[in-house]
């Protein structure tokens, strides 16, 4: 599917297949296996320009990885508007319903190095580059709507504490260590974000099944100059779903590229990930009418108080051609704006406006990172900037300054009515001080609201996350400080944690926070069967009629069945037909499947029985749906068979039940202690 950005990238795409090998200068080479030597066993000659070029390029292949968000993946797509936002903003790409705006989206984890696993407990980045006809607009967000700190000056401190401890560079991609929790206990503004990080939101099932948030408060400005405060949301059409903690740890070992591959495979199969873009809108005159400061990045605007207006859809429909050239070199910046969108005085956002450009200068080798193909706007750019590392533009004008008469003072600026960007003229007065507004000093009300809004299973998962993380903290003093701090959120929650990690319970007092926001609970999310991966395990002599009927029903429900057996050899059914397995019981694993269907033949060897029982046990303990044929029912613990989400195949009715069970994703009311 072509769009303006894809067409632009075509001029940079090169397919080397079938071509003659050359040097970087275009010289055709007769040999690429051996360096130039004096005789067959003599020394290599320095005059071997091909060797020098090849080795030198290899030695310089790597660039500094991102300090944060190093581990990620990305995809191309398009944005289509549902409803014109002209009433609120003059941004062109939010005006015309008939225009499809090319986008590039990068997903990432925050803490780990490039080689870390996908499924760690962490915040996920969700950054979007809109290639608009007014220039690139970057929406640099996360899968959580708040952040750990309120002021950008503390960002280096936070990341230093979060990263592996400097003496050992351990642990990798994890917050379960002393320095992180010491920072949290001594920077209580982080309370709300920590509740999100300890929740299921920190271990998403898929990049396709997590929300995105712009985090900060921005301004929409319309043609009349009227301001509306705005927060951005990206809502997945597949709903918001997560893994369970035991799964994440096992997947990290079994398939550390789990989320990357999931995104790539979905796009390759035509199951394009879709996210609806939503906005929360607050008139400028209502800036101080909420019970928190709207510029505080540790606060959300509860959707029940400020509804999310869905205005368009992002569809990701093309994988990258080269990971380094696109995913690794893409450069986002919250300061890449278009007319009609502007900043606020959020002190975390203000610091990011400096940090992102500063980072790209070192990572991408200088000020011309905007000329890298993935970063180039789809419109022409003209200015008096010149030279620098990796300059690709060949400026033919002799004039590179403003004002000038020799080129009629061009490139020229234009007024707002002609599409020029003009910063919002906010009236500001005050003394230059290093301080925090009193309106930023409530750290616990929304953290408590988040916990109050969770279903009981979600609350249990948060408690278990605290137990796991804090049990890794060696300092008892730090553990006690954290328990005392989060006692301000919920006494019962932290009393359970305190008992587990061997510290005193927080002092008892009635919680003063009772507000809830149902939109925060994943229990209330969309539930579908679409694109869920179903492991269909078969053995020789399986019932062909029953298996084929179930397989058809799974395809009709838009799931992604994968046939698994003990080998990759064809498996013959009762009717003489054959199924070719995609993977084996050894190479696949229950933790990378969303549900399991076992259709065994009348005779099963001991190896198949052992492996099938392992699939059943892990699927069951992770609350996922199970369907087993009558022949395979003997593999079930009898008490399992009557638990929610477990079905014995007797006919079409049971297949339909299985599909409904799949749509629910997890069956939290199941007793897993059987």
Distance of CA 113 to the CA centre of its chain: 15
pLDDT at 200: 98
pLDDT at 650: 94
Active site residue 443: no
Separation of alpha carbons 142 and 69, rounded Å: 10
pLDDT at 221: 98
Separation of alpha carbons 1 and 444, rounded Å: 48
Residue 569 has pLDDT above 70, yes or no: yes
Residue 507 has pLDDT above 90, yes or no: no
Residue 647 has pLDDT above 70, yes or no: yes
pLDDT at 33: 94
Active site residue 50: no
Q: Which two tokens stand for residue 299?
A: 């606060």
In the chain, how long is the greatest CA-to-CA distance? 91
Residue 509 has pLDDT above 80, yes or no: no
At CB < 8 A and 24+ separation, what contacts does 664-668 make? 664/527, 664/625, 665/205, 665/241, 665/527, 665/532, 665/594, 665/624, 666/244, 666/457, 666/622, 666/623, 666/624, 667/623, 667/624, 667/625, 667/643, 668/455, 668/456, 668/457, 668/623
pLDDT at 586: 95
Task: Compute φ and ψ for 541, nearest 5 degrees.
Answer: 85, 15
**272 neighbors 266 (Cβ within 8 angstroms):** yes
Across the range 607-635, mean pLDDT stands at: 96
CA-nearest of 136, 104, 113 to 330 is 104
pLDDT at 243: 98
Out of 3, 50, 136, 142, which one is annotated catalytic?
142
Residue 226 has pLDDT above 60, yes or no: yes
CA angle 380, 381, 385 (to 5 degrees): 155
pLDDT at 510: 65
Separation of alpha carbons 596 and 535, rounded Å: 5
The order of strands in the sheet holding 533-538 is: 583-584, 560-565, 533-538, 595-599, 626-628, 646-648
H or E element: which one contains 535?
Answer: strand 533-538
DSSP type of residue 242: B
Crossing angle (nearest 10°) for helices 245-254 and 456-471: 60
Q: pLDDT digit string (tens) for 140-190?
A: 999 999 999 999 999 999 999 999 999 999 999 999 999 999 999 999 999
**143 neighbors 123 (Cβ within 8 angstroms):** yes
pTM over 0.85? The answer is: yes
Residue 365 has pLDDT above 80, yes or no: yes
Residue 240 has pLDDT above 90, yes or no: yes
Written in H, E and C, the secondary structure of 564-626 is: EECCCCCEECCCCCEECCCEECCCCCHHHCCEEEEECCCCCCHHHHHHHHHHHHHHHHCCCCE
**364 neighbors 331 (Cβ within 8 angstroms):** yes
Residues 6+ apart with CB under 8 A from 607: 566
Q: pLDDT digit string (tens) for 572-591?
A: 999 999 999 999 999 999 99
Distance of CA 168 to the CA centre of its chain: 28
Residue 77 has pLDDT above 70, yes or no: yes
Strand partners, 160: none
Out of 50, 69, 192, 667, which one is annotated catalytic?
69
CA-nearest of 356, 379, 390 to 130 is 379
pLDDT at 1: 54
Q: Regarding predicted confidence, which is higher, 507 or 329? A: 329
């Amino acid at each position: 599917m072509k769009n303006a950005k894809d067409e632009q990238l075509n001029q940079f795409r090169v397919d080397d297949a079938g071509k003659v090998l050359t040097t970087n200068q275009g010289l055709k080479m007769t040999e690429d296996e051996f360096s130039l030597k004096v005789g067959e066993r003599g020394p290599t000659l320095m005059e071997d320009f091909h060797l020098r070029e090849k080795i030198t390029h290899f030695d310089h292949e790597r660039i500094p990885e991102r300090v944060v968000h190093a581990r990620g993946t990305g995809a191309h797509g398009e944005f289509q508007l549902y409803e014109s936002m002209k009433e609120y903003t003059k941004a062109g790409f939010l005006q015309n319903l008939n225009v499809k705006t090319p986008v590039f989206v990068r997903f990432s984890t925050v803490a780990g190095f490039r080689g870390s696993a996908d499924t760690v407990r962490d915040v996920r980045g969700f950054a979007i580059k809109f290639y608009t006809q007014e220039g690139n607009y970057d929406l640099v967000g996360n899968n959580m709507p708040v952040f750990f700190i309120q002021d950008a000056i503390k960002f280096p401190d936070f990341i230093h504490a979060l990263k592996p401890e400097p003496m050992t560079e351990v642990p990798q991609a994890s917050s379960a260590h002393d320095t992180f929790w010491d920072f949290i206990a001594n920077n209580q503004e982080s309370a709300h974000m920590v509740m999100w990080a300890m929740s299921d939101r920190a271990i998403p099932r898929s990049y396709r099944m997590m929300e995105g948030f712009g985090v900060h408060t921005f301004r929409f400005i319309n043609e009349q100059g009227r301001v509306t405060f705005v927060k951005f949301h990206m809502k997945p059409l597949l709903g918001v779903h997560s893994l369970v903690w035991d799964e994440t740890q096992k997947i990290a070992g079994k398939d550390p590229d789990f989320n990357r591959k999931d995104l790539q495979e979905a796009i390759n199969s035509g199951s394009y990930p879709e996210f609806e873009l939503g906005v929360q809108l607050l008139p400028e005159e209502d800036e101080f009418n909420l019970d928190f400061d709207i510029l505080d990045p540790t606060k959300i605007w509860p959707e029940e108080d400020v509804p999310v207006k869905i205005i368009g859809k992002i569809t990701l429909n093309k994988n990258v051609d080269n990971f380094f050239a696109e995913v690794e070199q893409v450069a986002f910046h919250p300061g890449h704006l278009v007319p009609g969108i502007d900043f606020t005085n959020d002190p975390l956002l203000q610091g990011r406006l400096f940090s992102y450009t500063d980072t790209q200068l070192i990572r991408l080798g200088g000020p011309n990172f905007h000329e890298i193909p993935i970063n180039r706007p789809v419109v022409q750019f003209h200015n008096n900037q010149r030279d620098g590392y990796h300059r690709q533009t060949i400026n033919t004008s002799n004039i590179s300054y403003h004002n000038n008469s020799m080129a009629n003072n061009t490139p020229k600026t234009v007024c707002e009515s002609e599409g020029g960007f003009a910063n919002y003229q906010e009236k500001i007065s005050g003394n230059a001080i290093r301080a925090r507004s009193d309106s930023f000093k409530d750290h616990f009300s929304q953290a408590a609201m988040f916990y109050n809004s969770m279903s009981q299973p979600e609350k249990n998962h948060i408690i278990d996350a605290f137990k796991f993380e804090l049990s890794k903290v060696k300092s008892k003093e730090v553990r006690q400080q954290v328990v005392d701090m989060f006692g301000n959120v919920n006494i019962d929650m932290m009393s359970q944690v305190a008992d587990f990690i061997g510290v005193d319970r927080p002092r008892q007092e009635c919680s003063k926070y009772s507000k809830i926001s149902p939109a925060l609970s994943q229990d209330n999310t969309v539930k579908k069967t679409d694109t869920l991966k179903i492991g269909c395990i078969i053995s020789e002599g399986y019932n062909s009629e029953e298996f084929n009927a179930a397989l058809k029903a799974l395809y009709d429900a838009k799931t992604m069945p994968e046939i698994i057996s003990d080998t990759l050899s064809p498996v013959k059914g009762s009717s003489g037909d054959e199924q070719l397995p995609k993977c084996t019981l050894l190479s696949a694993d229950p933790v990378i499947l969303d549900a399991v269907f076992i259709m065994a033949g009348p005779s099963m060897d001991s190896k198949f029985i052992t492996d099938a029982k392992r699939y059943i046990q892990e699927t069951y303990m992770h609350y996922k749906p199970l369907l087993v044929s009558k022949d395979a029912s003997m593999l079930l613990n009898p008490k399992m068979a009557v638990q929610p989400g477990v079905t014995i195949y007797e006919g079409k009715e049971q297949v339909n039940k299985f599909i409904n069970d799949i749509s629910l994703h997890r069956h939290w009311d199941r007793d897993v202690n059987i």
